[in-house]
Structure 1
């Protein structure tokens, strides 16, 4: 007999969502694992008590269909909703294509909200918990990640507001401020390039390496991350939970250190020093 039900978005192989599926499944929960494409969830498709759902968080019809499937199979309840689906993004803000930025917000901000709205009746019936997987990037002024960081901080602000707005209905909300974790690699950035005429062309290779996750920063094993996060969710934690590589350091720095100190740290190995020398 399962302990309850969980729906997780963004469960493609090698990512945090897939690891969270495994962690919840091992704890005895009925898991609904979702992704934009069912073929991307091969690592979890044969796990007992796991059902795969096609769910693009930017598509209303996908959300509606997923909600109906879960409602029918759980008698109209959902214990945990995990908003994990997200897109990463790297681009200097002066080179940011505005339409591409809006599309990023559709996935990272409006998508999680739309999914939460759809599953709210099931969560309320279960007195459940909504979880938003956010990012340390929202607390750092990391060069070339401004749009992504802004989207994840926006998601977190909405999560914190929902924490208050859903409290009267006995639904908890948890934001997991996530540090760097190991994934299969950001291969979708292999063809990344700056627009023609960019002021950042002299350091294009540096930015591309960072987009691929090759900046040399420490990363936590995805399975270790998922196990601890699931443990905190099951305990009934709400509010904010910081976890992942460098999470504690960033939390302390963002709270207590001068902005200039934090800026000096995040600029390391970004190529900005090269641009400074070239523009003296």
Structure 2
């Protein structure tokens, strides 16, 4: 196989992974597009140099099968690994279901570690690049997404350490700190339901508005995002890159903006101002 190769997780239609698969293919790479169900990315199957693979990043057996398929087609090399799979849960931290939170971390964080460990031999052989999809919420503290925010912050810290550890082995590590993108991520996010005893009942409308994606925010299309990110990756980027609406602003604001100002912005439309100190 003469062309460069890339494997991307989370390629269901309508999301970032799908757009990345299309853009890498357009630029001449051989693409392994993966999702838990290949039917969710069927629009990719007619593209040249595109292989669709079922892959569940929480399943070591599923990952091992994907490694075997890639090895068989590439001779034991992989130039780019794009860890994009993710899920979200929303709601106040006080009302969070711990098991749901663990399942989210299993995808968003542990899934990345599983993929990196499994594909490391192929990446080292190719002197390749690991690209992990992070988020501006790893820097921000937007209400009602504390657990998702924490999972992305964990990815950022993991990546920067991994970057140092992989450098002697000839493998680059890139973190895409993703801004606001117009995707269907809420399909992987259960609708938040506040228990009757929740202290946040007064903020229910704000929570629902956020879940439905009706907040007044600018969003980048997945296609536009993919063009920028693929360009960055193929140009040899390393470390953190900031792409998508509000990403550039977040890069500087997280260090320079006073807490009172960022609080005011992040609290906008949350309805937390309606919440008292008790349920009475």
- 1:201 corresponds to which residue? 201
- 1:9 corresponds to which residue? 9
* Deviation of the 1:277 alpha carbon: 10
For residues 50 and 26 of structure 1, the distance between their equivalents in structure 2, rounded to whole angstroms, comes to: 10
* Deviation of the 1:205 alpha carbon: 2.6
For residues 212 and 66 of structure 2, the distance between their equivalents in structure 1, rounded to whole angstroms, comes to: 32
Q: Is the 8 A contact 1:189 1:212 kept in 2?
A: no
Q: Is the 8 A contact 1:95 1:198 kept in 2?
A: yes
For residues 108 and 189 of structure 1, the distance between their equivalents in structure 2, rounded to whole angstroms, comes to: 13
The change in CA–CA distance for 1:156 and 1:262 in structure 2 (over 3 A counts) is same
* Deviation of the 1:192 alpha carbon: 3.2
Runs ≥4 residues deviating over 4 A: 187-191, 276-280
SS in 2 for 1:130: strand
For residues 194 and 277 of structure 2, the distance between their equivalents in structure 1, rounded to whole angstroms, comes to: 20
SS in 2 for 1:168: helix
Structure 2: any 5+ residue segments left out of the alignment?
A: none
Per-residue CA deviations over 1:142-199 (Å, capped at 9, x if unaligned) read 0001000000110111111110000010000000000011124624557431123111
Q: Is the 8 A contact 1:124 1:170 kept in 2?
A: yes
For residues 199 and 29 of structure 1, the distance between their equivalents in structure 2, rounded to whole angstroms, comes to: 51
The change in CA–CA distance for 1:190 and 1:150 in structure 2 (over 3 A counts) is closer
For residues 188 and 179 of structure 1, the distance between their equivalents in structure 2, rounded to whole angstroms, comes to: 18
| Stretch deviating more after TM superposition (256-265 or 180-189) | 180-189
For residues 190 and 167 of structure 1, the distance between their equivalents in structure 2, rounded to whole angstroms, comes to: 38
For residues 219 and 74 of structure 2, the distance between their equivalents in structure 1, rounded to whole angstroms, comes to: 36
Aligned residues: 280
Normalising by structure 2, we get a TM-score of 0.96
Q: Is the 8 A contact 1:89 1:211 kept in 2?
A: no
| RMSD (Å) for aligned C-alpha atoms | 1.8
Per-residue CA deviations over 1:253-276 (Å, capped at 9, x if unaligned) read 101112222111100000012225
For residues 45 and 180 of structure 2, the distance between their equivalents in structure 1, rounded to whole angstroms, comes to: 26
Q: Is the 8 A contact 1:190 1:212 kept in 2?
A: no
* Deviation of the 1:98 alpha carbon: 0.9
Task: Tell me whether 1:134 sits opposite 2:138 in the alignment.
Answer: no
Structure 1: any 5+ residue segments left out of the alignment?
A: none
